[in-house]
Amino acid sequence: MDTTTPRSRRALLAAAFGGVAAVATQAIGSPAMTRAGSGAVNLGAVNVSGDTTTLRNPTDQSVVLRARSEGAGIGVQGISDSRAGVLGRSRAGPGVAGESASGAGVEGRTGSGIGVRGASADGYGVVGNSQTNVAVYGSTDTGYGVFGQSRWGTALYGLGEMDSFALQTDGKVTFLRSAGIATIPAGSRSVTVDPDLAVNADSKILATITEGDPGGTTTVQRISRDTVAGTFAIRLTADAAAAVMVAWFIIS
């Protein structure tokens, strides 16, 4: 500062006002980065801290943090390089709850991984509930719309009460291991099938001749199960006059 030149009171005020205006203009033009320790969180700025920021509200049934976008923006966004972008935990209620008046309550998108994944140690990984419409909806162009996997339990379970449907399909249904085709050669009366899955005394197995003429009134007589070997045999009422193909299906 030049200490030799006298400064008038008006000149000092003008200089001070110009400095404040310059700072305000910079703050509006681009948010400043703030390295906050235990201080307040600055709005419109990038707050940098190596510690966890905790907001605690001990009041019962009150919202701790509310973010609102009055337009087409996003209310809350969480970003992570390798972990979960948003993690929700609750002692009794839902860890993460989504509500929408007309859109999706919860939406998951991914480029190559899993859009939405649910895991549970003892309960349900994913639960869908709807009063009048679809509870869980899956859509895909090339893969699986809905995929369920279980090692010992049931991968997908549907419960239909009263006159409702536990399972309803509109289109082709493929059973990779519980259905197949077996061939009974000419002159033989039976064929043994190894379905590569558990076969027990309660297994319900259906079989019908799909191709070939066994001759006369020969048809499928019965199914005999070998629960030790895990196989079953399809038996005809007589020896087949020609080779026939029998389609089989294990319900349970």
DSSP 141-157: SSS-SS----SSS-SS-
Residue 29 located in a structural domain: no
Is the Cβ–Cβ distance between 181 and 245 less than 8 Å? yes
Total-model pTM: 0.58
- Using DSSP, how many helices (H) and how many strands (E) does the chain show? 1, 8
The single residue listed with the structure tokens 């030149």 is 5
Is the Cβ–Cβ distance between 237 and 217 less than 8 Å? yes
Pairing of strands 179-184, 46-48: unpaired
Residue 13 located in a structural domain: no
Pairing of strands 33-35, 190-193: unpaired
Residue 230 located in a structural domain: yes
Paired tokens of 181: 């085709």
Residue 52 located in a structural domain: no
The single residue listed with the structure tokens 């289109």 is 171
Using 50 as the pLDDT threshold, list the residues of the chain that sit under it: 1, 4, 20, 22-25, 27
Q: Is 178 helix (H, G, I), strand (E, B) or coil?
A: coil
Q: Please report the pLDDT score of residue 184 as a whole number.
A: 97
Q: Please report the pLDDT score of residue 1 as a whole number.
A: 47
Per the structure, the complete domain to which residue 239 belongs is given by 179-250
Is the Cβ–Cβ distance between 196 and 250 less than 8 Å? no
pLDDT, tens digit, 9 for 90 and up, residues 53-80 = 888 888 877 888 888 899 888 888 888 8
Instruction: Report the share of the chain in percent with pLDDT over 90.
Output: 27
**How many other CB atoms are there within 10 angstroms of residue 223's CB atom?**
19
Cα separation, 192 vs 183, in Å, equals 9
Number of domains in the chain: 1
Residue 132 located in a structural domain: no
